Amino acid sequence: MPLKLVSGMMKASGNETLLIMERDVGGDEIVLVTKEALLDIADPPLCNECRLQEYVSVFSDIASHKFDGKELTSDGRVAVTSTDVSAWKAHRPDAA
């Protein structure tokens, strides 16, 4: 059951991002997008609200895939990391 993006926001610290994603049944899922994931998604490396909004659909797709695959952190949450971003880059259709 895929997650659907509701909202995305930078934490006040500016070090990571939270995505609010809706489950088909049972409420919302809070997804963490790490600072490193934001920095690694594109060049030049940026960790800001603009970069988040530019790639929010990519982050939400990665999060939904991880949720469906039960790739959760030890506390049962979904986290999008730089490793996930590297895998996305390697498998996207326009990858050289």
DSSP string, 15-41: SEEEEEEE-SSSSEEEEEEEHHHHHHS
28-34/16-22 β-pairing: antiparallel
Q: Which fold has domain 4-91?
A: Double Stranded RNA Binding Domain (3.30.160)
Model pLDDT, residue 12: 80
The answer, as to whether pTM is greater than 0.85, is yes
Model pLDDT, residue 27: 87
- % of the chain exceeding 90 in pLDDT: 78
Rg, Å, the chain Cα set? 13
Burial class (CB in 10 A: 0-12, 13-18, 19+), 23: middle
Q: What is the pLDDT of residues 34-77, one digit of tens each?
A: 999 999 999 999 999 999 999 999 999 999 999 999 999 999 99
